[in-house]
């Protein structure tokens, strides 16, 4: 696969993923099993661009889009508000959407202004209507496998047809056709992906990225457990160099 963006060069991100598994009592084996299942499942669909070359091509296309623009790159998280997106549009920023957070576009006077700036959706499959709208528009997806999202991924794959996709996992192993850029939640993983692709930290703005509340565009979740996840999200973002996260 093109490039060497996986976080072998940043062992701290891998270590945080290990610490998260321990904190929540999750098994590495399940993460590996679902990742390997995902790559097999998408490959057997038979779409020409759902191949090792196709996954790499989509990653490269997203990377090229992000690096070819001088404006900021905004990570749109689950607690995003309409005004934040309007300001990003005014600045002509590129957008990377965390799963269903594109639902905020429905509040805009012209939702196309948001979609036209969207470079990719980072998803683990539970993004609801915002994710469905992205699929309808054939927005590139970066799909993540973890130990307890196989059912969500099965549902997602059934909707995709030949949408451009790349695949990520959260194990310390190399899995052909997939990458591990670091990260835990869709929002911090989106930031890890942008940095892995070469976007400078100073170009990245975090919208709707809160560790003190569950965002309205979060998937169906246990609120108490979600708050614990958000603390880890903040740790990952701080490891990347972001500051001032609430």
Domain coordinates of the chain in residue numbers?
7-240
Determine the pLDDT at residue 11: 84
3-state secondary structure of 195: helix
Share of the chain above pLDDT 70, in %: 95
pLDDT per residue over 146-200, tens digit each?
A: 999 999 999 999 999 889 999 999 999 999 999 999 999 999 999 999 999 999 9
Rounded Cα distance between 14 and 104, Å, is 32
Q: Which two tokens stand for residue 129?
A: 């209507």
Rounded Cα distance between 75 and 187, Å, is 7
Q: Ranked by mean pLDDT, which of 97-101, 164-168, 214-218 comes out on top? A: 164-168
Determine the pLDDT at residue 219: 64
Rounded Cα distance between 180 and 185, Å, is 13
CB 153 within 8 A of CB 99: no
More confident residue, 213 or 188: 188
3-state secondary structure of 193: helix
Residue 72 burial by Cβ neighbours in a 10 Å radius (0-12, 13-18, 19+): middle
Mean confidence (pLDDT) of the chain: 91
pLDDT per residue over 23-49, tens digit each?
A: 999 999 999 999 999 999 999 999 999
pLDDT confidence band for 220 (50 / 70 / 90): low
Determine the pLDDT at residue 6: 42
pLDDT per residue over 106-117, tens digit each?
A: 999 999 999 999
């Amino acid at each position: 696969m093109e490039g060497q963006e996986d976080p072998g060069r940043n062992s701290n991100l891998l270590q945080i993923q290990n610490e998260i598994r321990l904190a929540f009592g999750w098994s590495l084996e399940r993460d590996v099993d679902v990742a390997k299942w995902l790559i097999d499942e998408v490959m057997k669909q038979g779409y020409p661009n759902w191949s090792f070359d196709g996954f790499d091509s989509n990653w490269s296309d997203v990377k090229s889009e992000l690096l070819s623009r001088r404006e900021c790159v905004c990570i749109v998280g689950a607690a995003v508000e309409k005004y934040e997106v309007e300001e990003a549009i005014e600045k002509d920023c590129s957008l990377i959407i965390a799963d269903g957070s594109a639902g905020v576009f429905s509040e805009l006077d012209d939702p196309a202004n948001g979609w036209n700036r969207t470079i990719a959706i980072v998803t683990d499959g539970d993004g609801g209507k915002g994710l469905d709208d992205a699929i309808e528009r054939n927005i590139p997806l970066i799909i993540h496998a973890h130990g307890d999202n196989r059912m969500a991924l099965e549902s997602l794959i059934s909707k995709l047809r030949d949408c451009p996709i790349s695949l990520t996992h959260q194990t310390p192993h190399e899995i052909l056709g997939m990458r591990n850029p670091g990260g835990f939640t869709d929002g911090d993983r989106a930031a890890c992906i942008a940095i892995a692709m070469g976007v400078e930290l100073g170009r990245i703005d975090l919208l709707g990225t809160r560790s003190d509340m569950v965002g309205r565009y979060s998937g169906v979740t246990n609120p108490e457990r979600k708050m614990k996840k958000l603390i880890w999200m903040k740790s990952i973002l701080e490891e990347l160099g972001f500051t001032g996260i609430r």
